Amino acid sequence: MDIDHSVIHMYEQLMNNNSNKTLQSTSNTSVAQSLNNSTSCNNDHNNVDVNKNTFESNNNTNNQLSQCNENHESTEDIIEILNIQTNNEPKLIKINQINTDIDFPWKLQAIISCTHPKRTYINSNGEGEISTWDLVDDTAAINLVAFNLDSYILPNKLFEGKSYEFNGLSIKTVDSIYKKLPHDYQLIVNKTTKTREITMTYKHHLTYNFTHLNEVENLPLNSIIDVNVKVLRDYGTTTGIANGNPWTRREIHVSQDHVHMKLTLWNEQAKKIPTSMINKELKLKNIKIDWFNGSRTLVGMPNTIRLLNIDDKYIMNFLQKLIKHLFPNKIITYRIADLNNQILEQNNKINNIFISIEKENRSRQFCYLTIEELIKLFENCPVTDRALYECISPKNSVKIYIDFEYMIHNNLDIQNHHIGPMCFVKILYYFLNIPDDTINTVEDYTENVFKQFLVLEASTSEKISYHFIHAKPSVIFENVSTLAIFIKVILHFVLSLVVQHKCSMFNITSPLGSCTISNLIQILVPHINILRKHCTSCQTSIPYISIADIAYLLVQNKTNEWVTAIDINVYSNNQQFRLFNSVKYGKNNPLILSTTFPFDSQLQYSFSDLLKKSLITFIENDQLSKIYFKNEKFVFDLSTSSNSTITKLQNFINIEPINQHMKHSSFSHSHPNINTNQNLSRSLHPNKINNLNLSIPDMSIFIDFVENIITSDPSHQGYICSCARGTYNTNLLFFNIAGKYKFCPKKNGHHQRNNVAIMINKKEYTYSIRCKDIECNNTILSWKKIK
């Protein structure tokens, strides 16, 4: 498109003369809909055997839009615009706040993350063009669109990766057919638009919000999603010309967990990888759901970001490079066992923090940092790259920590999502503190609770997610093994209170002598709604905790099975617990301070102080007494305590009901191999049945078979810690094994450290042993007949 330079100069003067005006456009009609209202927009498209929405969206869409513009008019001449003259300073807004209801002057600061290929059209009146950019800030992304003269000028002023402030843009809804981003609106350049380059503190980092392929069928057509798939077939590229525009198409067949789908890449996206993509893993951001030949497909767009998963696990990501830059001598390992060996070799008493780094393929790498080094790393690492976890060794003393979570759509009957978390924090406080007769109100009691407990939150519209940490502990635990037993006993204790209580609305008779947690849940499930609604006045022996409150600890999981909202699996061997203000890789949902349950609100804490207090294994007060589990009861270690400390510990009388409870429950029956001073798996052994869901059909049939395998070697005794049915192949049962059974079929022997699962195909009546050691890469399984 050739435009005389005098015309450009005149246009720029016109824009400068409008510096005191602010444009607001609030039309509820999309650009495509506005322009297509003209009958002159009818256009016969060349028929190409491609997905309708694909090629038209990437090449012909703007021919349709722009053929209406017969006189080479600028955007503001085509679209009805509401001009509002104001002397008020425009208000700075974020991208996620943009909508057509804005009725005040506004401006936007954003980074250009993508410049789309310029699109041209030719009709009977000549040639025109359209330019599009992706703008991003720390909240969302949105398209910026410029037509004709604007499209000609702005590409010389707007550059990818730079930050700009925009003033005087129009806001338009966008038809889903033409969307390039998930945002429901787009921004339109007009004659009053002003831009200036700025420096932003926000640094754009690529993040993903992956959608599983099995969810695609349930999403609206033209939805824009991120996917992580494997290429099964690559059919190569096809080229052609339509409406005078050349096109290139590449079709591939992708899958994820046995779900298959066709994916089409266009033009530059199709040509980027010259070799075959078969067996490659692709991460795709901004991919569109389309419909072709009777089924849903995936379609690439100009702003689709495609990354190949690199097989080389030693390639460093940003976080690893940052650690190497800040601490050049720091060693990053690929197995947690190697990290433990490093610490032993140094033979020092520094209170190191073990951390794991989550990578894009969900693998982990490990290193240790001092608390000062960890704070420095946090200060230099953006939150979006901070995929960090604290590794909790079986030998570490620990503060109490809880993972409280459930899916909202599986628990729609829960209207108040604060009852359950508040209830359990109060229960923990009760058992871990000396009774205080001076507290006479629930407000005072709650205030004391949150002087000790730090609550971190990563809840979304889909999921309730809290971490409770005993940040200012009254006592600590010998190790995570003892803590795991403590949490399970408390759960058993409070659920037993509910079953045993009687009132006008609840009166059942059930033997409790040998009931496990699973048994108690099954007893209570039919009465959950009654307990929550009608037992609010039924008080328990725990202050300010009612029977109704405890009933909110029972929730339905993703498969609608009833469980506790407290995740017991976070007490496994070498558990990795997400750090404060950190994210899961590819997600932008950091674990932040809860505003609903504020920590020690009377004091102000710096970020570094909060980070220290949120760490599970970082104990600032080395005089704190420890809780041990010995001879089937919880005891305090008094050997190194002063007389005043001993007197204080003797006042922790709330622990005694827990010990008494274990004498009359399944927790009192120790397995002969139990040794509570060893690792976590053996400590949990006597309670292994609590982790098994006996409601899974056919599971009990195979328990004896699995236990015969894992107890056949006297020196490698294991036990079943959990069992689950296959999500996609329901004929599969997965028995996860703990203890000393660490058999690897590839090695034909036992590892020192690894996890093992025994898989049962109940349809074929076969089984396979899978070693989960990352270096074994046991993806090819050997199946044997069950005799």
Q: Which amino acid is at 587?
A: K
Instruction: Output the six-digit token pair for 591.
Output: 């674990």
pLDDT of residue 61: 45
Tens digits of per-residue pLDDT, 279-338?
888 888 889 998 888 888 999 888 787 665 544 344 456 788 889 889 988 888 877 777
pLDDT band, residue 671 (cuts 50/70/90): very low
What is the maximal distance between C-alpha atoms in the chain? 98
pLDDT digits (tens, 9 = 90+) for 587-610: 888 999 999 999 998 888 999 999
pLDDT for 778 equals 57
Q: Quick check: 533 pLDDT over 70?
A: yes
Residues 775-783 have a mean pLDDT of 69
What is the structure's pLDDT at 683?
Answer: 35
The tokens for 230 are 């494997």
Angstrom distance (rounded) from CA 599 to CA 614: 11
Q: Say how many C-beta atoms besides its own lie within 10 A of residue 648's C-beta.
A: 15
DSSP secondary structure string, 52-72?
Answer: HHHHIIIIIHHHHHHTT-TT-
- Give the pLDDT confidence of 227-262 residue by residue, as tens digits: 988 888 888 888 888 877 788 888 999 998 888 999
What is the mean predicted confidence (pLDDT) over 423-452?
A: 91
Residue 44 has pLDDT above 70, yes or no: no
Distance from C-alpha of 430 to C-alpha of 542, rounded to nearest angstrom: 7
When comparing pLDDT for 149 and 126, which is higher? 149
Least confident of 401-410, 557-566, 707-716: 707-716
How many whole angstroms separate alpha carbon 128 and alpha carbon 149? 9
> What's the whole-number average pLDDT of the chain?
79
Residue type, 233: R
Is the overall model pTM greater than 0.85, yes or no? no
Say how far apart CA 195 and CA 256 lie, in whole Å: 43
Indicate the pLDDT class of residue 585, thresholds 50, 70 and 90.
confident
587 versus 616: the higher-pLDDT residue is: 616
Residue 682 has pLDDT above 50, yes or no: no
How many residues can be counted in the chain? 787
Residue 57: which pLDDT band, with cuts at 50, 70 and 90?
Answer: very low
The pLDDT score that the predictor gives to residue 270 is 81
pLDDT at 15: 52
Highest mean pLDDT among 642-651, 657-666, 710-719, 762-771: 762-771
| CA dihedral angle for residue 80, residue 84, residue 90, residue 96, rounded to 10 degrees | -40
pLDDT band at 344 (very low <50, low <70, confident <90, very high): low
pLDDT at 723: 82
State the pLDDT at residue 363: 78
What per-residue confidence (pLDDT) applies to 21? 40
Which of 667, 331, 239, 702 lies closest to 485 in space, CA to CA?
667
3-class SS at 662? helix
Q: Shortest CA distance to 401 belongs to which of 368, 428, 365, 363?
A: 428
Tens-place pLDDT, residues 65-77: 444 444 444 444 4
Asked whether the beta carbons of 85 and 137 are under 8 A apart, the reply is no
Nearest in space to 771 (alpha carbons), one of 781, 763, 762: 781
Q: Which residue has the tokens 């209801």?
A: 101
pLDDT value of residue 611:
95
Name all domains of the chain by residue range, CATH numbers in brackets.
5-198 (2.40.50.140), 213-308 (2.40.50.140), 318-381 (no CATH), 401-605+620-667 (no CATH), 692-785 (no CATH)
Dig out the tokens for 427 from the structure.
């229960």
Token pair for 68: 């209406």
